[in-house]
Amino acid sequence: MNAPLPDVPEVRVVGLPQLTTGFDLVERLDLAMHLKVHGPLEPMTGERLAELAEAISLRGRGGAGFPFGKKMRAVAKASIRRGVRPVVVINGSEGEPACRKDTVLLNRAPHLILDGALLAAEALGARTLVVAVTRNSTEVSVRAALAERGLSDRRGQQLRARVVRTPERMVSGEASSVIRAANGGPAMPPGRRERAAETGVGGSPTLLSNAETYAQLAVAARIGPRRYGHTGLPNEPGTVLLTVSGAVARPMVIEVPTGVPLRYILQLAGAPPLPQGVLTGGYHGNWIDAVASHNAVISRESLATVGGALGAGAILPIGPETCPLGESLRIANWLAAETAGQCGPCKLGLPAAAGGLSDVLNGGGPAALEALREVTQAVKGRGACKHPDGSARFLMSTLSAFTDDLAAHVLDGGCGRETLGVLPLPASGYQDLEESIPSGEKLAVDWTLCQGHGLCADIVPELIRLGPDGYPAVADASVPMHLRGRAQRAVRRCPALALRIEQPAAEQRPALPAVTRRALGSAPHRSRPTTNPPGHPIRVARFFTWILWS
């Protein structure tokens, strides 16, 4: 089986680099090196920036492909109409196991992304910047980059910038999930769909786009639309970042101009000469066969013509030695487990679809195949987010792309090949708590006050679980930086005033990497008091608790 992809795999480039300029010089471009490599960036008005995005046909690089200029104009219009300042959000959440392009950019060239986002923020008059990330290494890099620019979330600054950590899950990168997380809630889609351009972070119009999209905007703002258009196809100019994995000798992130043949990219990564199939666009994408992969070029239009999808830029070939339906079943089971559990089509439909594919593989015959088609069609267009639609698209593409194998399983009981597991999946679920950046603080419970209300476990379940007796069991671990806000909220909302945050002595505080110390800064974090002041009588706490709950 293939091991999970590292946070930052090998990076290659075809032609002249744009997004990856300077990667051959240093491992990470700090602000000084970034300015040496890319040079300064002049501010632009909102109209000029929107015109630039339209001139280079800039579309979102997170999967949906919405025109950036159109999105920017919608945010500006809503902001003017409502008389409120908008918010700019960098969506660096990358919860799909087959995608690493945004993680590579945020880890190695964070200032290029910040350039584009700050350009948009200044053009729109925004006073808030939010960066959403999923991985520990990415959070460290982004915090360091913000610190290098003197940006923080402190009051009084012209622009307040903060980092939001989302779980490493498929649904966490969805736009509404990111906005909900930025608003202090769980990183899950809400029950209703709202346009971020109208109502986003804090209820304000929000410009939310993918990390690579902002980096592309920064490149175009420096070199201009004419020079930018000299690279790639006339109707889709510039370069794209791809994550190539699966049955390849060298998993990599590669920057390529649009128009480069897909077969060349596969050859560069060491894919089989005649792949049995190539999954394009990631686990919400489409399969194409060997003939289509030989004829297609890297572009949104070309891949769509042969039945593929550019999507989030993931390219995954599989060789002839593995069962393609078995490989797809592994992904279908993972997609079913990634449901947020909030709506029936996702919570019930996706496990049923994965079970249907399993029945087909295990000799269920034509009846099992027909049942699979029915349940897959039933989940489309009925979820709270696009996860059911993307998962259904993947399953339907599987049935269409591997008709010979499907016939062998339905009519003959199998294709005779094992499932080798060449498509990457997480090794052990979601990121462990110990891998997060520690704050040095710990949650503690005063058992003389605790009454087992359980609100704390609802607010921060990563750190507090309810035991069999209904009382909280607190993790004996440092509160991670990305959970600090929720931990403080749990302390404030404890009805019995029994929960507190303990500050360790200086000599007991964990040593952080230098880059983390620079990212976090040396100033103490100021927040509302989380412990009772000295001499505060416990009877006062008991009195107010009695008033609230009697």
Averaged pLDDT for residues 159-165: 95
Averaged pLDDT for residues 115-120: 97
pLDDT band at residue 262, thresholds of 50, 70 and 90?
A: very high
Structure tokens at 125: 């008059």
Neighbouring C-alpha atoms within 13 Å toward the C-beta of 184: 10
Structure tokens at 192: 């209703």
Q: Characterize the bridge pairing of strands 314-318 and 286-288.
A: unpaired
Per the model's pLDDT, the better-predicted residue between 192 and 99 turns out to be 99
pLDDT at residue 153, rounded to an integer:
93
Q: Percentage of the chain with pLDDT > 90?
A: 59
Eight-state DSSP code of residue 347: I
pLDDT at residue 431, rounded to an integer:
39
What phi and psi, each to the nearest 5 degrees, are found at residue 362? -100, 25
Q: Which amino acid is at 368?
A: A
pLDDT at residue 379, rounded to an integer:
79
Structure tokens at 234: 């006339």
Averaged pLDDT for residues 106-118: 97
pLDDT band at residue 511, thresholds of 50, 70 and 90?
A: very low
Query: In 476-501, which positions are buried (b, 16+ CB within 10 angstroms) versus exposed (e)?
Result: eebbbbbbbbbbbbbbeebbbbbbbb
Cβ contacts of residue 240 below 8 Å, gap of 6+?
A: 61, 255, 256, 258, 298, 310, 313
**Using CA atoms, how far apart are residues 120 and 234, in angstroms rounded to an integer?**
25
Averaged pLDDT for residues 266-290: 95
Averaged pLDDT for residues 343-362: 85
The DSSP-derived string for 454-500 is -HHHHH-TTTEEE-TTSSEEE-SSPPBGGGHHHHHHHHHH-TTS-EE
Angle separating helix axes 350-361 and 324-337, nearest 10 degrees: 160
Cβ contacts of residue 256 below 8 Å, gap of 6+?
A: 13, 14, 15, 239, 240, 242, 265, 298
What phi and psi, each to the nearest 5 degrees, are found at residue 442? -135, 145
DSSP, collapsed to helix, strand or coil, labels residue 36 as: helix
**Using CA atoms, how far apart are residues 477 and 442, in angstroms rounded to an integer?**
7
* Residue 516 contacts residue 143 (beta carbons within 8 Å): yes
Looking at the predicted structure, is the pLDDT value of residue 193 above 50?
yes
Tens-digit pLDDT profile for residues 520-550: 343 333 333 333 333 333 333 333 333 333 3
Structure tokens at 365: 């015959």
CA 130 to chain centre: 14
Q: Characterize the bridge pairing of strands 128-133 and 87-92.
A: parallel
Q: Where are the alpha helices (DSSP H) in 4-100?
A: 31-38, 46-55, 68-82
**Using CA atoms, how far apart are residues 205 and 88, in angstroms rounded to an integer?**
9
* Residue 399 contacts residue 411 (beta carbons within 8 Å): no
The model carries a pTM of 0.80
When mean pLDDT is compared across 324-328, 418-422, 545-549, the lowest value belongs to 545-549
* Residue 173 contacts residue 166 (beta carbons within 8 Å): yes
Among candidate residues 84, 17, 88, 14, the one with its CA nearest the CA of residue 49: 88
pLDDT at residue 525, rounded to an integer:
36
Q: Percentage of the chain with pLDDT > 70?
A: 88
Q: Where are the alpha helices (DSSP H) in 484-550?
A: 484-493, 514-520, 538-549
**Using CA atoms, how far apart are residues 232 and 243, in angstroms rounded to an integer?**
18
